[in-house]
Amino acid sequence: MTLNLKGLGSRAIIGAFFKRLEEAQTAGWTADVATMFSSNQESETYTFLSDSPSLTEWSSNRTAQSMKRFEFAVKNKKFSAGLQIDEDDLRRDKTGQILVRVNELAARAAQLPQRIISDLLIANGNAFDGVAFYNSGHVTESGATINNTVSQTCSVAGVPTVSEAASGILTAITRIMSFVDDAGEPRNEFARRFAVMVPAALYGAVVGAIRNDFLTSGSSNQLMATGMEIVPYINSRLTTGTVAYVFRTDADVRAFVWQDEVAPMMSTLEEGSDFHTLNDARMFFAKRVCNGGYGRFDQTVRLTFA
């Protein structure tokens, strides 16, 4: 349904912006792959404590174990975009075209976390332990190795069939479930929900792998048999057409962190402002102060189709 903004004031335009913002944020995948934090300063330092010890049989006295601190900082950045609406265009608009532009601006504000996290995925920078986020060389305090990279061989290099996609996703989930924490206990023992993020080139095979009862080989789909909830996401920002990312989405601390110091907001130069008087136009600015960073590498696996 379209809305005719003809004759309406700036409050109606601002209201349309926030309505579309809420819709776009609800449809996004950020909250599935990132732990969401509110920020109140320029930079936030996140302290990941080592894991709690396992319970042991009581002997003579209670024992307590100190916890090693891992820290990393995420610095907020200011983002902004503006939309200028001519007063005559506003008066003449009978088809809701201005609303389309307002909705686009709201969508830009909502898309920002997904854009930044996608950049982090592609860059594969260092995690809090100083090792590249997707890497075979992470080591826990218990001495266990965390290798959050897997591969799936395809009959046609880099182009998986539905069966091959299912096999690769199952391998990735199994790998996530196998990770142990600093106490040597299963890190993801209670995992039941996962997401698979892929570029456009892999989406067809991955959707079939997740939702088809039977695979291209004619056999029953093992992914369906796991009873896990698996959600596919297409991310056209991903630049490598043979790589997918699998995330646990029901963990307390997830693969990435996202912080908002200033949630998306809109400011205006409207009727009565000097700008409006001189230019016979209104200005609407969207602003967000925020940033994202790498979280726990044991909540995700990079899957390469070879």
CA distance 49 to 296: 12
For residue 80, being part of any structural domain is answered with yes
Query: Which pLDDT does position 121 carry in this prediction?
Result: 98
DSSP code, position 216? T
For residue 42, being part of any structural domain is answered with yes
Question: What residues have CB less than 8 Å from 99, skipping those under 6 apart?
Answer: 2, 3, 5, 16
Report in angstroms the alpha-carbon separations of 157 from 143, 154, 215.
35, 5, 19
276 plus 190 within the same structural domain: no
186 plus 80 within the same structural domain: no
166 plus 250 within the same structural domain: yes
For residue 196, being part of any structural domain is answered with yes
162 plus 218 within the same structural domain: yes
CA distance 94 to 92: 6
For residue 266, being part of any structural domain is answered with yes
106 plus 22 within the same structural domain: yes
User: What CATH number does residue 26 fall under?
Assistant: 3.30.2400.10
Please count the structural domains in the chain: 2
Residue ranges of the chain with per-residue pLDDT less than 70: 1-9, 49-54, 59-69
Containing domain of residue 252, as a range? 138-256+296-305
For residue 56, being part of any structural domain is answered with no
Count how many Cα atoms sit within 13 Å of the Cα of residue 105 in the half-sphere of its side chain. 29
Per residue in 16-58, pLDDT tens?
Answer: 889 999 999 998 999 999 999 999 999 999 877 556 666 777 7
Query: Which pLDDT does position 14 carry in this prediction?
Result: 86
Per residue in 213-256, pLDDT tens?
Answer: 988 778 889 898 899 999 999 999 999 999 999 999 999 999 99
Query: Which pLDDT does position 2 carry in this prediction?
Result: 43
Between 10-27 and 97-123, two packed helices, what is the crossing angle to 10 degrees? 40
184 plus 300 within the same structural domain: yes
